[in-house]
């Protein structure tokens, strides 16, 4: 019979836990969410021989079992709940050989829970260079465990690790130290109150309530209310526990770990001297930012053009080969352009995550946090806000999720609230088409294209809006939260290509299937609304034929009149006319009004919507552009898209909160509708006022 | 005035003294910032904040306001 083993990978951040996971599972992995929360759940399977199937869960990185964030809480919830289907048969605790002391803290806690635990000491290939030697047998005895010396970089020691996992039932489940010594009297009382329970489990449930909040899923009901001690006393005990653990670890390592500091070569301090330098540090950081933007906007243009033309011809081909009818139209004009609108973003998103994951893998990101913290704090943000603000140029959704490691709630909330101002990739197609229409294609000083400069200005505007509103929010929000900031400065490492590639694939997939679903749905709905209508819509042909009967028009001209009559009397036409009074002062007509409204689902549908509305069969920008350029302002005459209305549209898109998915994420991350609603109304109001002012001033 | 981590100069070292448990967050202890440990200032960020420390082999950065709460003895 096949043996089935549940393994949980646990470890501090920066120990290479995910590379170990990638090594063990290969591409046999699945990323989802834990039910009800937006914490990533990574799991995978691998086979040991024929008879043994292993399910591996990669738990979020944590420094201890005392959780202070949603991600860390997941680890404790799982380890305390024997009934969970993922409850591990064996825990593999991943440690970095250079940070063994700190990494062992978590290990001793897991041992205390009575879960069989293997210690996987990673990065063992660096031992020689760092002149580190370990007495493995003695360390195994002291920690009551089995140790696998591994290197995920060099692929060493994994056979040993797999063997240990397979024979997990030979592992000791005894704790390696006695945690209850921190207060024998208190633990005695606990034992008497709950005679059948594991003491350390009880202690975790109680302290977790103090640290983070009630645990949802655990079988120890009523324990959290067992607080015979005050909160500050419990905190004191937790500190005492940490100190006691470190004493044990220090004792143990003194006998087993030897570092010959004389022979240790130190790359870190030499690199740090440059990368965190007061001047060079910034120069290098901005250089890297420039490179990222160059990649996103220049290099990705080639694959994007290719995708664009491919989908346009695919749509054309469908129309020509499939039988004429509603179904063909739905596919050719609704679904294919809709899919194209999703796929076109893949190059940019992939490039962005390629860079972000390389920066994180190398350990450089922590240096950026260190460099930027003081500057960002002036605006009520944290050094850790840099990552979300940069990631926001791809998409606000992963950016907002990246705010989780900001400890201070006020700084985190402000970061969440202002991140949607940064120019996400969904705004890009809107900017591109409007800029192409209203900004003259000339060069400034002979080299810089005016259109390019305008695009850059839109990005600066987005960052500026984010920073200024952060500053205002910092002054306005009355949230008192204890300021506290700590960031680990990991060793520099060469990024592992496998890790980088897996991250890029995962994030791109998340975008395509997450945001993509909405974009596709909206495209189809729009197509339906524009293709059907009440009353006169269905008699369009007769009405137009009758109206122009005397004018002797060509068939083509008649056809055009019928199309525009149909659109005006379709469902979407009726909606557009209803909202026209609201958008008229901004310089828009009812068609742009519809594009604006549909953009509230997701901005990237703007171009697609105009394409559908202007009854252009393909999503090809040139044709849409020509149609847009030909549109006439119904009141003032002259082109509808002139400099004034174009600028007004650009500004509206720069400031307005038009993304349902972002609102949903903000609701989840702040656990209230208050903040997403605040974003929706305040940002959109700013957008309306600024666009109104710009149009009225420029027209 | 008491000597704290915040008064360290670049390259200087000290030993962390006992601290008042109510002011120092648990996370800092977990990351190795414990009484009795040796602390060295590796690098200061621009505007002298945050501080990049090496505490007994653990490298971490904390803000000046936190550093002010941790008393040390210079060595």
The string of DSSP letters for A408-441 reads SHHHHHHHHHHGGGS--TTHHHHHHHHHHHHS--
pLDDT at A223: 64
Residue A364: pLDDT over 90: yes
Q: Which of A370, A244, A407, A142 is nearest to B34 (CA)?
A: A244
Nearest 10 degrees: Cα torsion A651, A652, A655, A661: -140
Residue A395: pLDDT over 50: yes
Residues 353-412 of A with CB under 8 A from B: 366, 369-371, 373-375, 383, 407
Q: How many C-beta atoms surround the C-beta of residue A458 within 10 A?
A: 20
Which residue among A105, A370, A487 places its CB closest to the CB of B30?
Answer: A105
Q: Does domain A3-259 have CATH number 1.20.1300.10?
A: no
- Cα gap A382→A384, rounded to integer Å: 5
A621-668 tens-digit pLDDT: 556 677 777 777 766 667 888 889 999 999 999 999 988 778 888 887
- For the annotated binding site of A for GTP, the residues are 11-18, 36-40, 58-61, 122-125
More confident residue, B33 or A28: B33
Which residue among B26, B49, B65 places its CB closest to the CB of A483?
Answer: B65
**Given 3-state DSSP classes, what are the helix, strand and coil percentages for chain A, each rounded to the nearest 5?**
65, 10, 25
What ipTM score was computed for the predicted complex, to two decimals?
0.94
Hunting for tokens 């404790």 — which residue is that?
A76
Residues A387, A379: contact at Cβ < 8 Å? Answer: no
Can you give the residue ranges of every domain in chain A?
Answer: 3-259, 538-565
Write the DSSP symbol of residue A494: P
Task: Please answer yes or no on whether B34 and A66 come within 8 Å at the CB atom.
Answer: no
CA distances from A38 to A18, A398, A635 (A): 19, 10, 49
B7-26 tens-digit pLDDT: 999 888 999 987 765 667 88
Beta-strand pair B72-74/B13-16: antiparallel
Structure tokens at B40: 């060295």
Mean pLDDT for A43-63 is 88
Residues A652, A586: contact at Cβ < 8 Å? Answer: yes
**Hey, which residues does A8 pair with through a beta bridge?**
A57, A91
Predicted model pTM: 0.81
Residues A674, A668: contact at Cβ < 8 Å? Answer: no
Task: Please answer yes or no on whether A374 and B46 come within 8 Å at the CB atom.
Answer: yes
Average pLDDT across chain B, whole number: 86
Nearest 10 degrees: Cα torsion A282, A283, A289, A295: -160
Which residue among A101, A373, A484 places its CB closest to the CB of B32?
Answer: A101
A496-530 tens-digit pLDDT: 898 899 888 888 887 777 667 766 777 788 778 87
For each of the domains in chain B, give its residue range(s) and CATH number, in order of start. Answer: 5-74 (2.30.30.90)
- Cα gap A579→A597, rounded to integer Å: 9
∠ CA A645-A648-A649, nearest 5°, is 90
> Shortest Cα distance from A99 to chain B (angstroms)?
7
Q: Which of A418, A419, A387, A372 is nearest to A292 (CA)?
A: A387
- Cα gap A590→A85, rounded to integer Å: 54
Hunting for tokens 């806000």 — which residue is that?
A385
pLDDT at A636: 67
CB-CB neighbors (< 8 A) of A236 in chain B:
21
> Shortest Cα distance from A93 to chain B (angstroms)?
16
Residue A89: pLDDT over 90: yes
Entry field: residues in chain A:
699
CB-CB neighbors (< 8 A) of B65 in chain A:
483
User: Can you tell me whether residue A170 is helix, strand or coil?
Assistant: helix
CB-CB neighbors (< 8 A) of B25 in chain A:
482, 484, 486
């Amino acid at each position: 019979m096949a043996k089935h083993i549940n393994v949980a990978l646990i470890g501090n951040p920066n120990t290479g836990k995910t590379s170990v996971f990638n090594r063990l599972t290969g591409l046999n992995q699945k990323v989802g969410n834990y039910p009800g929360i937006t914490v990533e759940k990574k799991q995978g399977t691998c086979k040991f021989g024929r008879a043994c199937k292993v399910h591996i869960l990669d738990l979020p990185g944590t420094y201890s079992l005392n959780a202070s964030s949603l991600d860390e809480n997941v680890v404790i919830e799982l380890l305390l709940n024997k009934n969970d289907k993922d409850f591990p048969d064996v825990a593999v605790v991943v440690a970095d050989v250079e940070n063994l002391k700190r990494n062992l803290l978590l290990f001793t806690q897991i041992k205390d829970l009575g879960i069989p635990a293997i210690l996987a000491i990673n990065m063992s290939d660096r031992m020689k260079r760092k002149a580190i030697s370990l007495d493995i047998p003695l360390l195994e005895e002291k920690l009551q465990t089995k140790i696998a010396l591994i290197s995920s970089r060099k692929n060493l020691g994994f056979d040993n690790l797999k063997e240990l996992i397979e024979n997990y039932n030979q592992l000791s489940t005894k704790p390696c130290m006695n945690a209850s010594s921190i207060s024998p009297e208190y633990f005695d009382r606990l034992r008497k109150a709950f005679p059948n329970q594991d003491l350390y489990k009880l202690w975790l449930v109680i302290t977790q309530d103090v640290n983070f909040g009630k645990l949802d899923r655990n079988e120890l009901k009523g324990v959290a209310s067992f607080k015979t001690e005050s909160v500050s006393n419990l905190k004191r005990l937790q500190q005492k526990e940490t100190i006691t653990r470190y004493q044990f670890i220090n004792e143990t390592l003194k006998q087993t770990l030897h570092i010959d500091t004389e022979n240790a070569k130190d790359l870190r301090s030499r690199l740090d001297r440059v990368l965190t330098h007061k001047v060079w540090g910034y120069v290098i950081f901005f250089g890297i930012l420039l490179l990222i933007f160059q990649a996103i906007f220049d290099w990705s243009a080639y694959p994007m053009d290719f995708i664009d033309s491919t989908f346009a011809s695919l749509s054309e081909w469908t129309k020509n080969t499939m039988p004429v009818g509603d179904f063909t139209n739905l596919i050719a004009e609704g679904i294919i352009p809709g899919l194209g609108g999703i796929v076109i973003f893949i190059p940019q998103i992939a490039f962005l995550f390629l860079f972000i994951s390389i920066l994180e893998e190398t350990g450089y990101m922590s240096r950026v946090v260190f460099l930027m913290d003081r500057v960002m704090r002036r605006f009520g943000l944290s050094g850790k806000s840099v990552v979300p603000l940069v990631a926001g140029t791809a998409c606000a959704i992963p950016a907002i999720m990246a705010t989780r490691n900001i400890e201070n709630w006020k700084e985190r909330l402000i970061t969440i609230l202002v991140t949607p101002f940064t120019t996400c990739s969904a705004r890009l197609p809107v900017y591109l088409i409007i800029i192409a229409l209203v900004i003259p294609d000339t060069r400034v000083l002979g080299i810089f294209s005016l259109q390019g400069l305008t695009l850059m200005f839109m990005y600066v505007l987005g960052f500026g809006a984010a920073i200024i509103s952060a500053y205002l929010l910092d002054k306005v929000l009355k949230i008192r939260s204890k300021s506290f900031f700590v960031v680990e400065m990991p060793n520099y490492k060469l990024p592992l290509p496998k890790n980088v590639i897996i991250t890029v694939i995962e994030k791109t997939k998340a975008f395509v299937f997450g945001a993509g679903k909405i974009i596709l749905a909206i495209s189809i709905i729009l197509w339906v609304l524009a293709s059907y209508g009440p009353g006169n819509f269905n008699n369009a042909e007769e009405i137009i034929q009758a109206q122009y009967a005397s004018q002797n028009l060509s068939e083509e001209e008649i056809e055009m009149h019928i199309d525009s009559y149909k659109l005006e009397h379709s469902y979407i036409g009726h909606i557009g006319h209803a909202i026209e009074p609201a958008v008229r002062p901004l310089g828009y007509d009812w068609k742009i009004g519809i594009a604006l409204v549909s953009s509230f689902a997701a901005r990237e549908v703007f171009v697609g919507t105009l394409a559908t509305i202007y009854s252009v069969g393909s999503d090809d920008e040139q044709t849409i552009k020509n149609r847009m350029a030909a549109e006439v302002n119904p009141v003032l005459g002259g082109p509808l898209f002139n400099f004034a209305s174009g600028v007004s549209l650009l500004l509206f898109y720069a400031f307005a909160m038009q993304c349902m998915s972002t609102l949903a994420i903000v609701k989840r991350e702040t656990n209230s509708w208050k903040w997403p609603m605040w974003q929706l109304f305040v940002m959109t109001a700013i957008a309306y006022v600024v666009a109104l002012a710009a149009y009225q001033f420029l027209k | 005035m008491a000597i704290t981590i915040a008064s360290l100069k670049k390259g200087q070292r000290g030993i962390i003294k006992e601290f008042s448990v109510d002011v120092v967050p648990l996370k800092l202890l977990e990351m190795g910032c414990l009484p009795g440990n040796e602390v060295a200032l590796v690098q200061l960020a621009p505007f002298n904040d945050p501080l990049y420390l090496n505490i007994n082999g653990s490298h971490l950065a904390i803000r000046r306001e936190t550093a002010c709460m941790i008393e040390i003895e210079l060595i």
